[in-house]
Structure 1
Amino acid sequence: MVGTSVMTSYLIAAKSLHHHLRRGRMVVMDDGTLTEQDRALLRHHLGDPQILSLADVDVGPCPRGGTWERLLTILDIAADDYVIQLDSDTVTIGPVPHIEEAIDANRCFTLLGAETPARTIMDVHEFQACSFPDGEPTAEDREGHIQGATESVLTRLAIEGLDRPRYVRGCSGFAGFARGSNRRLAMSFSQAAGAILGADRWKEWGTEQITSNFVIANSDDAVVLPPSSYENYWGTPSSDDVRFLHFIGTYRWHAWEYQRRSLAAIKALDRAAGEEARAA
C-alpha cells in the first residue's frame, strides 16, 4: 500500500528493486491518500502502473484493515502472475539472484522474520517445539502479542486440504507469491485462527503477516531468503553480502543508514539512466 506520506521512500524501494531485477510491472494500492500529483509521479517513474483503491477490495470473511486488503489483492493477482509484495521502507542495494531464481521456478519466497530460532519452513509441530521454551507455549505466549498468540495455536488449527500444515516466521515486507496462487487458503486460515483466538484479537495489526507466512509456507518448494543477503535492519552492521535491506520501524532513522543506502541507490539509478541515454 502507498500513501502520500511515503511517496519518496516508495519510489526508492520500487525503483531500486526494479533496477536490479530488470523485469515486471508495478501495481500500486492507494491507501486513500494519494493526490493527483502523487499519481502523476507514479506514472512518470513506474511506467504508468495500475493503481488500485484500498476501499474497493472485497475482504470476504477476513478482517478489514491491517494490510489485509493488500494480501488478498496480491493473491487474486497471483492467479495469473507472479507477484512480489514490497514495503516502502526497503532498499535493494545489489543483485538479487535468489529472487530471479524463485520467479523462474515459480516458487514463493519470504524474508525471514524477527526473533526466531526457526529459520526454515517447518511442520507446525516442529515449529512449536523449536520456538517455545520446553516445546510448549505458555499462558503469556497465548495472551501476548498476536504473532506469538497465533503461533501458539498453529497445531490446533484444522485447515481443509492440509494434513501436515507448515509455517515460517517470515516478514511480509518482502515476499513473493507464485503464479497460480489464490486467496482460499488465506481465508481458511483466517477463519480457523479467528475462531480460536476470538474475533477481536484477530482484527489486531499483524494477523495479515502471519497469514502471509502460512500461505507461503504451504506452497510448493517455497524459499526462505538467506538472511545474510536479505536483511531486516536492526541497527547493527550489515553483512558483506547484503543485497536487500528492510528498515524496521524507527531503525530507519538509526545512524543515517537508510539515508546513506537510499542516496547510493539514487546515484546508481542516475548512472544507469545516463548510460541508457548515451546508448540510445
Structure 2
Amino acid sequence: MVSVSSIKQRLRRDYFRWQHKRAVRAVLKTPALSVGDLPFTLLSMVQKRDVLSYLVALKSFTTFANPARVVVVCDPSIDAKDRDVLRQHVPHIELRKAGEFVHPEIPRGGCWERLLAICSYAAESYVIQLDADTVTVRSPGEVLDAISRQSGFVLGEEAAQTLITLTTTSNNAKADTWGQTHIQGYSEACMAEVGLPPGSMYVRGCAGFTGFPPSTTMLTQLLDFSSRMSGKIGAVRWSSWGTEQVASNYLVANALGTQLLPYPKYGTPDVMNEDATFVHFIGSLRFVNDTYEKTSRTVIQRMSGPGYRPGLSS
C-alpha cells in the first residue's frame, strides 16, 4: 500500500521538477556560444528531456572555461528539433550518435558510449566530461589550473579525499557489506583480485564532471579493465547501471597528475554553501526543493545581463 508520506514526497518532486522546467526555458533567450580558445574538448551525453538543462550546464561552465570544441553524444531520444536547438545555441557543436561509440568488448548503454567517446577524443586532446545536471556558479579556478597543466581532475564525495590503492579500495568495499549490494561497491570489492597493473590507483569519485588529459593508451586501459572486471563478476552484472562510473574512476585515477576537486566547493546541493563553485544536482537530490531552479535562474540571469559576453575564458 502506498503511504500518504510517499504520495506527498512524489507530489513535491513533481512540483519542483515543473518549476525547474519552466525556469530553464529562459536559457533559450541567452546569446549563442562563441568558439573558445582553451585547449580542451567539452563532452557530454544528452537525452531529449535534458536539452535545456544541458544548455544551462554548458553555458554556465563556458562563461569561465570556453573550449575549442564542444561535443554532444546524442542519446537515441534526441530528434531533429533538439539538434536544431543545440546548433542554434552552439553553432560549432559536434553532434555524434551514441551508436558511433561501441566496442564488442565493452557493455552497451549505461553511459558506456560516453566513456568510449571520451577515449576517442582524448587520443588528440584534453577532455572534460560535463553532465547536463550541473551548474557552474563561479569561476572554477582549480579546473582552469588543471586545463593549463593538462592534468586530470574528478569530483569527490567528501573532504580531504585522495587517490587510493586497489588494495585499499577493495578492503574499504569489503568492510561495507550494505554497500556491496550496489554494483559499484561490489565491483570495488573485487578490484584488487583481477590482476590489474601493479601500482594502479582508484578514486571513489563521480563521473559527472571529470577531466582527462590527452592519452593514446586510454582505450587500451579501458578494454583491459573492462575485460578483467567482466571476467571476475560476469558479463551480465558488469553491464548493469553504475559500472561505467567505476571504469571512469579507474581511468581518471591513473591519468596524469589527477587531483580531486575541493569538496564541498565542488559538490552536491545538500552541501552547497556560500563558497559553492560547481554544483552537481544528482538524481536523488535534484527536485527535493527549489535549489536547482533558483541556481539555474541565477546563472541564466547572469547570461542575460547587458554586460555579458558568452565564451569568456577567464
Structure-2-length-normalised TM-score: 0.79
Change (3 A) 1:118 1:199: farther
Q: 2:202 aligns with which of 167, 183, 190?
A: 167
Q: 1:255 aligns with which of 273, 276, 289?
A: 289
- What residue number does 2:139 align with? 95
8 Å CA contact retained: 2:155, 2:209 = yes
Query: 2-side partners of 1:41 and 1:140: how far apart?
Result: 44
Q: 2:116 aligns with which of 52, 55, 72?
A: 72
Once structures 1 and 2 are overlaid, which stretch shifts more, 201-210 or 237-246? 237-246
- What residue number does 2:182 align with? 145
Once structures 1 and 2 are overlaid, which stretch shifts more, 86-95 or 248-257? 248-257
Once the two structures are TM-superposed, the CA of residue 210 in structure 1 deviates from its matched residue by: 0.3
Change (3 A) 1:156 1:50: same
- Root-mean-square deviation (CA, aligned residues, Å) is 2.0
Query: Which runs of structure 1 show a deviation greater than 3 angstroms over 4 or more consecutive aligned residues?
Result: 136-142, 273-277
Change (3 A) 1:276 1:106: closer
Structure-1-length-normalised TM-score: 0.89
8 Å CA contact retained: 2:153, 2:212 = yes
Change (3 A) 1:45 1:157: same
- What residue number does 1:33 align with? 77
Once the two structures are TM-superposed, the CA of residue 45 in structure 1 deviates from its matched residue by: 1.1
Give 5+ residue unaligned stretches, structure 1: none
Once the two structures are TM-superposed, the CA of residue 164 in structure 1 deviates from its matched residue by: 1.5
Letter in 2 for 1:150: S
- What residue number does 2:23 align with? none
Once the two structures are TM-superposed, the CA of residue 110 in structure 1 deviates from its matched residue by: 0.7
Letter in 1 for 2:162: T
Give 5+ residue unaligned stretches, structure 2: 1-44
Change (3 A) 1:257 1:139: closer
- What residue number does 2:274 align with? 240
1:213 has 2:257 as partner: no
Letter in 2 for 1:109: F
- What residue number does 1:157 align with? 194
Once structures 1 and 2 are overlaid, which stretch shifts more, 245-254 or 118-127? 118-127
Q: 1:183 aligns with which of 179, 197, 219?
A: 219
Once structures 1 and 2 are overlaid, which stretch shifts more, 20-29 or 8-17? 20-29
Once the two structures are TM-superposed, the CA of residue 2 in structure 1 deviates from its matched residue by: 1.1
- What residue number does 1:123 align with? 165
Secondary structure of 2:222's partner? helix
Change (3 A) 1:197 1:237: closer
8 Å CA contact retained: 2:159, 2:263 = no
* Correspondence list, 1:106-117, <5 A: 106-113=150-157
Query: 2-side partners of 1:228 and 1:139: how far apart?
Result: 27
Query: 2-side partners of 1:260 and 1:111: how far apart?
Result: 22
Larger RCO: Structure 1 or Structure 2 (Cα < 8 Å, ≥ 6 residues apart)? 2
The sequence identity of aligned pairs, in percent, is: 33
After superposition, give the CA deviation of every residue in 1:211-232 in whole Å (9 maximum; x if it has no partner): 0000011112111111121102
After superposition, give the CA deviation of every residue in 1:124-171 in whole Å (9 maximum; x if it has no partner): 123344x34xxx4466555x1100001101111212xx2111110010
Letter in 2 for 1:41: V
Query: 2-side partners of 1:101 and 1:15: how far apart?
Result: 20
Query: 1-side partners of 2:296 and 2:78: how far apart?
Result: 22
Query: 1-side partners of 2:136 and 2:176: how far apart?
Result: 38
Secondary structure of 1:179's partner? coil
Once the two structures are TM-superposed, the CA of residue 19 in structure 1 deviates from its matched residue by: 0.7
